């Protein structure tokens, strides 16, 4: 079964008994929970689109490993064209879901692990690459969704992992057995983990020799004993429990994050991809982060497309669409959004092969991409709010609109252009609210800031990759300076 249908995917997740908590209670049926289901629907779209002939080329690829047609989300990039197609696929999915569709973290972890395990084995004669390739084939053949867990909770930021007052603040090995290791710790902000079959765990930062137990990477299924998740709250999340759809803004799709706890989780030897080779922890982080910073030049652009469209519709609905300042704001939003796309495509086009044969993005350009993503969506949101007007946050509820007494009053007074129903006008404003302040703002606005690393993390990489010495030499040559 190299390609699952969306329905098969949903049923496959239903069969995994996961330990999930929300609002202080265990969630007995996460698949049908109204708060959680929209995020599952977003991942489902990665399966549904792969079944459609018009998207086959973007969404699927022939696996060099198996020769079978597989979902691109389980593919190891073998060319710059693969890298560009990845970004295009993510933009498409952002357009179709207006949310985080979650499956990219696994794809980015696959590609970072592929090259890094190869290089560790070359140096130490370990068998991590073989372990990883076996896991990869399993994911490709079964069309699995895999979460990539990197961000530790980190405790006191001024201290190294082994210096923390509580050793579990970074995930680490607590026991070494002949058949594997036992780990303890937690990973924060895990996007899509409850919608995944497996999770790849990676270290969160570079490690020194004293952090040996913290330099650990592996994969385990989501129903592994000792693994449980606590769902993160989002603005307006309980609106999804009210039963209506207007007030939610995006009734079908969403994204959900969870604090994921590993309480003495056993990892068998053949699922380990790094175990104590501390000097490779930083490389794995840098590569995963690089790929995920490239990803943001696709997914956030797709969601931006929806937001720009929503702002334009809002202007149509209140008759402001001909105003020159509104047209100019839409141009500005488009300019910012396409600039992000340029970055995603550029870092892909400038990709290069690693020793293992897969393709890496240009790291400097990928970090510039993500640095821009920490800024431009905020401006796009600001302009969307400007165009939407205050009604976006003062409009009465769907229940009021449906009320026999209040409904006609709302319909009369909140109408914009006469030909458009008040309901449609409110629907588009709720979508803008959802993307800029509501549940989707987690995946669009705040995730643009902190997802794939906070802004300072990119600035460190830009400083490292920017080659200032070369630029100084250029200036001196032009100025005829000899020293
Ligand atoms: Fe994919 Fe974007 Fe969500 Fe990351 S933030 S998982 S790249 S959709
Ligand atoms: Fe993300």
> Catalytic residue at 292?
yes
> In terms of Cα–Cα distance, which of 199, 208, 219 is closest to 272?
219
- Residues 379-392 have pLDDT tens digits of 999 999 999 999 99
pLDDT of residue 227: 98
Mean per-residue pLDDT, 300-307: 98
Among 41, 45, 97, 100, the mutation site with the greatest number of ligand 1 atoms within 8 A of its Cβ is 100
Task: Report residue 315 as tokens.
Answer: 């202007």
Task: Report residue 143 as tokens.
Answer: 């069309």
Mean per-residue pLDDT, 278-287: 97
Q: How far is the CA of 423 from the centre of ligand 1 (A)?
A: 31
Distance from CA of residue 460 to its chain's centroid?
A: 21
Going by alpha carbons, the residue nearest to atom 7 of ligand 1 is 295
pLDDT at 327 over 80: yes
Mean per-residue pLDDT, 24-37: 98
Band (441; pLDDT cuts 50, 70, 90)? confident
Task: Put the strands of the sheet holding 216-221 in their side by side order.
Answer: 146-149, 198-201, 216-221, 272-275
Which 3-state string (H, E, C) describes the chain?
CCCCCHHHHHHHHHCCCCCEEECCEECCCHHHCCCCHHHHHHHHHHHHHHHCHHHHHHHEEECCCCCCEEEHHHCCCCCHHHHHHHHHHHHHHHHHHCCCCCCHHHHHHHHHHHHHHHHHHHHHCCCHHHHHHHHHHHHHHHCCCEEEECCECCCCCCCCHHHCCCHHHCCEEEEEECCEEEEEEEECCCCCHHHCCEEEECCCCCCCHHHHHHCEEEEEECCCCCEEEEECCCCCHHHHHCCCCHHHCCCCCCCCCEEEEEEEEEEEHHHEEEECCHHHHHHHHHHHHHHHHHHHHHHHHHHHHHHHHHHHHHHHHHCCCCCHHHHHHHHHHHHHHHHHHHHHHHHHHCCEECCCCCEECCHHHHHHHHHHHCCHHHHHHHHHHHHHCCHHHHCCCHHHHHCCCHHHHHHHHCCCCCCCCHHHHHHHHHHHHHHHCCHHHHHHHHHHHHCCCCHHHHHHHHHHHCCHHHHHHHHHHHCCCCC
- Residues 168-190 have pLDDT tens digits of 999 999 999 999 999 999 999 99
pLDDT of residue 21: 98
What residue ranges line ligand 1, CB within 6 angstroms? 90, 100-102, 104-105, 191, 295-296, 299, 447, 451
Mean per-residue pLDDT, 429-436: 97
Mean per-residue pLDDT, 223-233: 98
Torsions phi, psi for 436 (to 5 deg): -105, -25
pLDDT of residue 162: 95
Annotated catalytic residue within 128, 296, 317, 359: 296
Among 348, 451, 453, 454, the mutation site with the greatest number of ligand 1 atoms within 8 A of its Cβ is 451
- CB 274, CB 215: distance < 8 Å: yes
Annotated catalytic residue within 60, 104, 260, 398: 104
- Residues 402-422 have pLDDT tens digits of 999 999 999 999 999 999 999
> Residues with Cβ < 8 Å from 239, sequence gap 6 or more?
247, 248, 438
What does the alpha-carbon distance between residue 49 and residue 302 come to, in Å, rounded to a whole number? 15
Torsions phi, psi for 8 (to 5 deg): -65, -35
pLDDT of residue 1: 60
Q: How far is the CA of 402 from the centre of ligand 2 (A)?
A: 37
> Catalytic residue at 104?
yes
Q: Which ligand is nearest to the CA of 99?
A: 1
Quote the mean pLDDT of the chain.
97
pLDDT at 87 over 80: yes
């Amino acid at each position: 079964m190299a390609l699952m249908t969306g329905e098969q995917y949903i049923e496959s997740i239903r069969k995994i008994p996961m330990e999930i908590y929300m609002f202080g209670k265990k969630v007995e049926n996460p698949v049908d929970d109204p708060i959680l289901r929209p995020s599952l629907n977003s991942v489902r779209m990665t399966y549904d689109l792969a079944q459609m002939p018009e998207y086959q080329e973007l969404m699927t690829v022939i696996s060099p490993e198996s020769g079978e047609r597989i979902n691109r989300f389980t593919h190891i990039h073998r060319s710059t064209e693969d890298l560009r197609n990845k970004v295009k696929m993510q933009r498409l999915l952002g357009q179709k879901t207006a949310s985080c569709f979650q499956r990219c973290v696994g794809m980015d972890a696959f590609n970072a692990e592929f090259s890094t395990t190869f290089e560790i084995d070359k140096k130490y004669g370990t068998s991590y690459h073989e372990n990883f390739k076996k896991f990869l084939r399993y994911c490709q053949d079964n069309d699995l969704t895999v979460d990539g867990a990197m961000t530790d909770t980190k405790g006191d930021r001024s201290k190294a992992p082994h210096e923390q007052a509580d050793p579990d603040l970074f995930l680490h090995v607590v026991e070494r057995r002949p058949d594997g290791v036992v780990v303890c710790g937690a990973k924060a902000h895990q996007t899509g983990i409850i919608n995944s079959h497996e999770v790849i765990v990676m270290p969160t930062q570079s490690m020194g020799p004293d952090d040996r137990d913290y330099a650990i990477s592996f994969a385990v299924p989501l129903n592994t004993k000792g693994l449980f998740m606590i769902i993160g709250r989002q603005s307006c999340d309980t609106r999804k429990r009210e039963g209506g759809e207007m007030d939610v803004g995006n009734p079908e799709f969403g994204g959900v994050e969870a604090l994921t706890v590993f309480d003495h989780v056993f990892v068998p030897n053949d699922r380990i991809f790094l175990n104590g080779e501390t000097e490779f922890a930083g490389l794995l982080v840098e590569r995963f982060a690089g790929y995920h910073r490239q990803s943001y030049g696709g997914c956030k652009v797709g969601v931006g497309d929806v937001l720009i469209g929503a702002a334009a519709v809002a202007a149509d609905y209140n008759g402001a669409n001909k105003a020159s300042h509104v047209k100019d704001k839409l141009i500005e939003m488009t300019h910012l959004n396409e600039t992000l796309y340029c970055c995603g495509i550029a870092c892909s086009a400038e990709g290069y092969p690693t020793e293992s044969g897969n393709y890496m993005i240009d790291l400097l350009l990928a970090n510039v991409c993500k640095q821009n993503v920490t800024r431009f969506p905020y401006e796009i949101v600001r302009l969307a709010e400007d165009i939407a007007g205050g009604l976006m946050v003062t409009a009465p509820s769907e229940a009021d609109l449906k009320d026999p007494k209040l409904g006609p009053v709302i319909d009369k007074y909140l109408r914009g252009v006469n030909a458009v129903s008040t309901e449609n006008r409110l629907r588009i404003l709720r979508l803008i609210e959802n993307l800029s302040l509501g549940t989707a703002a987690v995946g669009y606005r705040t995730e643009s800031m902190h997802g794939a690393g906070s802004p300072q993390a990119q600035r460190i990489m830009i400083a490292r990759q920017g080659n200032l010495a070369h630029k100084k030499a250029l200036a001196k040559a032009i100025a005829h300076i000899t020293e």
